[in-house]
Amino acid sequence: MILIQNARVIDPANSFDEISDVLIEDKKISRIEKQIDARDLENVQRIDASGKILAPGLVDMHAHLREPGQESKENFIDGAKSAALGGFTTVATMPNTNPVVDNAALVRSMKARAAEAIIKIEIIGAMTKNQKGEQLAEMLDMIDAGAVAFSDDGHFVDNARIFLNALDYLAPTGKLAICHEEETSLVEGGSMNEGHRSAVFGVKGRPTVAEDIAVARDCLLAEYSGGRVHIAHISSARSVEIVRDAKSRGVHVTAEATPHHLTMTEDLVTLSDTMTKVNPPLRTLKDVNAVVAGLKDGTIDCIVTDHSPHAFEEKDREYNRAPSGFPGLTRALALLIRKLVREGKISMPQLISKMTFEPAKIFGLLDKGIGTLSIGTPADLVLIAPNFNPITETPVDLTMCDGKILVCDGKLVD
């Protein structure tokens, strides 16, 4: 039995934001009250959370945990530890692995492997076989095996007929098609945002119009089919406008943004630092401001990390040859508090909603008790110190998953 006292409890799923005590019994949340009298409680562990925020465990529905076949970069066990350190208790892993997760047998295998991790890991299946965009994968079978959504992430499905067929198959199931939006012919060989800076560096760029064209097409196909489209890692100001307009017409489209596309611009890119190479690339300040505005007004529904670890020797090479992506699970919350909340761009309750309730709702996880502090749900939660020193401290004081403390005082519990 664990009693967390005097916390500011923020639970967007229940529109709750008050100083309260939270009692955890039998690994579930049993009581949330202004003050819980602990005198009659036996064998209770008390945690004083004065000045801290208690929220649902963070939910990241777009990460690359590299299993199967790429364990030299990371595996489920180590990725789960990184997630817990960052306050995440639920993470969904993308299917662009080796082999690609495009059949039910692989989904079942990964679900079994995920059960060994210290947090909850959900499985996203491929939309097309081997992510080649030529034939639909066994999506209905993968749903039966436990897949929560489908994506050819890392690849745009160029063939509109194939993508429309995917939406038709998925529409009755309510499952999402998560779309990597870059029109292929416009970005091949590109390594950074196309513009003045790429020209100065002599580096082939990836233009925003490639994203805009792809987002527009997929919003139109969602409108035509009635299917659900989810725009992955949106980064362009025009794409935000396109999604906003589609939503105003009642199209079933949702969107996500990453911490780096919310806080970083192409001005950070130097050819000597391949950690700035991401896909889609870091954009202009105009784009960043538009993505933040879209997050604030609800055009963008949730925040994801796009956590993408690589082996050191892969990133330690010429900019054009280095793979895109970097790890994001451990430091995402700290970055967003520092650059969005402290600078007054969004509120703490808004940030927590975008990292807990909203992704859980979009991906149909609320029924599992994910993304909420509702009474009777599994005790998945994070205790946040909002006034942390960004140089020496982490905002995550405690991470708990299924009633077990995984992180305490910013460190993994043995």
Token pair 């929560």: residue: 148
Q: Are β-strands 58-63 and 88-93 bridged in parallel, bridged antiparallel, or unpaired?
A: parallel
Residue 306 catalytic? yes
Residue 39: what pLDDT? Answer: 80
Question: Which residue, chain included where needed, has tokens 């990371």?
Answer: 74
pLDDT of residue 72: 87
On the CB side of 201, CA atoms within 13 Å amount to 22
Domain ranges across the chain: 2-54+372-412, 83-368
- The residue annotated as part of the active site, out of 306, 367, 380, 397, is 306
pLDDT digits (tens), the chain, 414 positions: 999 999 999 999 999 999 999 999 999 999 999 999 888 788 899 999 999 999 999 999 999 999 999 898 999 999 999 999 999 999 999 999 999 999 999 999 999 999 999 999 999 999 999 999 999 999 999 999 999 999 999 999 999 999 999 999 999 999 999 999 999 999 999 999 999 999 999 999 999 999 999 999 999 999 999 999 999 999 999 999 999 999 999 999 999 999 999 999 999 999 999 999 999 999 999 999 999 999 999 999 999 999 999 999 999 999 999 999 999 999 999 999 999 999 999 999 999 999 999 999 999 999 999 999 999 999 999 999 999 999 889 999 999 999 999 999 999 997
The single-letter code of the amino acid at 67 is E
pLDDT of residue 294: 98
Helix axes 285-297, 348-355, angle to 10 degrees: 90
**In b/e form, how buried is each residue of 125-145, taking b as 16+ CB within 10 angstroms?**
bbbbeebbbeebbbbbebbeb
Residue 4 in 3-state DSSP? strand
- Token readout for 100 is 């690609």
CA 58-63-65 angle, 5° bins? 115
**pLDDT value of residue 363:** 96
> Is-contact 123 67, C-beta < 8 A?
no
Output the pLDDT for position 38. 81
Per DSSP, the three-state class of 281 is coil
> Which two three-digit tokens encode residue 353?
């909603």
CA–CA separation, 51 and 289 (whole Å): 31
**Are the CB atoms for 94 and 63 separated by under 8 Å?**
yes
**pTM of this prediction exceeds 0.85:** yes
- Assign a CATH topology to domain 83-368: TIM Barrel (3.20.20)
| pLDDT value of position 391 | 87
Q: Note whether 398 and 414 are within 8 A (CB).
A: no
Angle, helices 237-248/208-225, rounded to nearest 10 degrees: 10
Residue 220 CB contacts under 8 Å (≥ 6 apart), including other chains: none
Encoding tokens for residue 178? Answer: 């998560």
Level-2 CATH architecture, domain 2-54+372-412:
Roll (2.30)
Measured distance between the N- and C-terminal CA atoms of the chain, rounded to whole angstroms: 19
